[in-house]
Structure 1
């Protein structure tokens, strides 16, 4: 969080992340390579010391592996849980394998190429996970951002859906409530309806649509 302007420009930060994900998922190899090069250049200046004194660098292959696995797992499970249409058989595994190529270009060493490998890698990281004041402060900001009142109902659905996908141990570490009945009875129906509305309103991703024509 020390190297990000997400508090001053949260929608801009989200837009840049979405553009990278969209380009590397749906774009051509040339477009994906250009997006990866931009990210790697930005990462070069992201270095520092963690609150416990450990040095870190955004281009550290081990940290990149963690970011890659959490992103891919989150994107895939969100699509499976809240997507407007079901994925075809084999698509989840193919997605993990294809995104491993992107991870390697970003500097990840030996990224997982199967869903089983992805799960195993995430489990392996668990002993390393620690939550400090910065993480909890970020969660508070994400839970209650400064947004126009018109956007708050929609955002609350999105945040609730994202938080509900976290493992219970992670929610407890982040001081997020664990309500087992809320997800199937309230959050999932609302998030699914929202995703279907957005899917209808926005249509296919522009990069994907361009490659179909």
Structure 2
């Protein structure tokens, strides 16, 4: 950044590179160039709210929240526990799903369609039964809808609380409508188009939700056993606490995560804001050469920085 001391600039570069490698993987630079430099029409123009939300560092909070919320559907969690490899290869999974988000949000329409077709092919192969003998299939439109609802609500809530420039009510309605385009392509039937519809459809799912042993194990892994070196764990702890603090009370109750209003208001929220500002500082927009061919420079993190949903 202009006028930044050399020592500070070097520290920012090291931190930004380390974060980018974690979320984008070894192919991250190549994927970023392909996503933003390939000419052609996009599903979403540079003015669309989905680009604002998915390009913000608040996605780190939203991703953890989405995983916790999604785990509460027994069929979705059974599929994740049996097929996702989230324990054995959590970073690889994060990198694949963050790339999916980046391609569908910023990439060409052809690349977005190919990414969706690839995920749909994976969903078709994922089927089984829960411990209670209930069958599940990852391509079930109802199950896909739950995953979409939890993801959209999580990214929206995290952006509203921690985003650099929160949207107004109309902007968040438009964000929900944007995500519906991707959801429909993935096989979701009747996704919400406004925030009110999103809330109503989430409420309609609540009778199906419960904290299975698999869900509680996933929550323990996400919150208390992250695959990170010890020096990084306090920072991740802030991220995890910020994600938990944005969960609805009923979800926290199911997962046995108590609300501590004073601690959350006086400590968790300010710490979360400071951490997200630091991530945003460390991961600035790509250089001008990295513009996508819609003509607008992408927002910070546009190459895929948020840990998204487990079913993608």
* Category of TM-score, reference length = shorter chain: over 0.9
In structure 1, runs of 5+ residues without a counterpart are none
Aligned equivalent of 2:37: none
Give me the whole-angstrom Cα distance separating, in 1, the residues matched to 2:271 and 2:99: 25
CA–CA distance in structure 2, aligned partners of residues 205 and 130 of structure 1:
42
Residue 44 of structure 1: how far off its partner (Å): 1.5
Please name the residue that 1:181 is paired with.
262
Q: Deviations over 1:57-89 (max 9, x none)?
A: 000000000000100000011011111233356
Question: What's the TM-score once normalised by structure 2's chain length?
Answer: 0.64
Q: Quick one: distance in 2 between partners of 1:98 and 1:126?
A: 24
- Map 1:45-194; keep pairs closer than 5 Å: 45-87=125-167, 90-145=170-225, 146-194=227-275
Match of residue 200 from structure 1: 281
Mapped partners of 1:37, 1:69: distance in 2: 20
The 8 Å contact of residues 61 and 108 in structure 1, kept in 2 or not, is answered as yes
Secondary structure at the aligned position of 1:59 is classed as: coil
Q: Which runs of 5+ in 2 are unaligned?
A: 1-80, 298-312
Q: Cα offset for 1:110?
A: 0.9
Alpha-carbon distance in structure 1 between the residues aligned to 2:262 and 2:130: 37
Aligned-residue offset at 1:28: 2.7
Q: Is the 8 A contact 1:84 1:192 kept in 2?
A: no
Contact 1:84 1:195 in 2 (8 A): no
What is the rounded CA distance, in whole Å, between the counterparts of 1:24 and 1:92 in structure 2?
18
Aligned equivalents of 1:192, 1:74: Cα separation in 2: 16
Question: Shift of the alpha carbon at 1:210?
Answer: 2.4
Taking structure 1 as the reference length, the TM-score comes to: 0.92
Name which structure has the greater RCO, CA cutoff 8 Å, separation 6+.
2
- Equivalenced residue count is 212
Say which one has the larger Rg: 2
